[in-house]
Amino acid sequence: MKLIMAIVSKDDSGIVQSQLTKAGYPVTKLATTGGFLAAGNTTFIIGVSDEAVETVLKIIEKSSSRRTETLASTASFSSDVYPAEPIEINVGGATIFVLNVERFEKL
């Protein structure tokens, strides 16, 4: 048995949850916040058999899109004030951890 922890953008969380439950995989959904951009994320916790891992990963991959956003830079390197150069960053997609489960009980 495996435990999948998938961190996805809050923008993609609805479709990810919908597709996983539609395919018969129950999920636990946690509202989380990323450290770098302090943006809202959703962390899904999914317990599956070893054989189901690749199927779940494909569902998450198809349901969470990676995209580019432009943000205003707030870096200042001198005492003069100049408009900040905007920077492009990649957001979305998913960060996924697959962990071995030693024991599972449902009480």
CATH code, domain carrying 37:
3.30.70.120
**Domain for residue 28, yes or no?**
yes
pTM for the whole structure: 0.76
Residue 49: give the domain boundaries.
2-66+93-100
Paired with 88 in beta bridges are 70
User: Mean pLDDT by 10-residue block, N- to C-terminus, for the chain (107 residues)?
Assistant: 94 94 96 72 96 97 78 57 64 88 91
Number of domains in the chain: 1
**Nearest residue to 98 via CA among 39, 37, 56, 42:** 56
**Domain for residue 80, yes or no?**
no
Burial tier of 6 (Cβ tally within 10 Å: 0-12, 13-18, 19+): buried
Q: What is the pLDDT of residue 74?
A: 58
**Domain for residue 15, yes or no?**
yes
**Domain for residue 79, yes or no?**
no
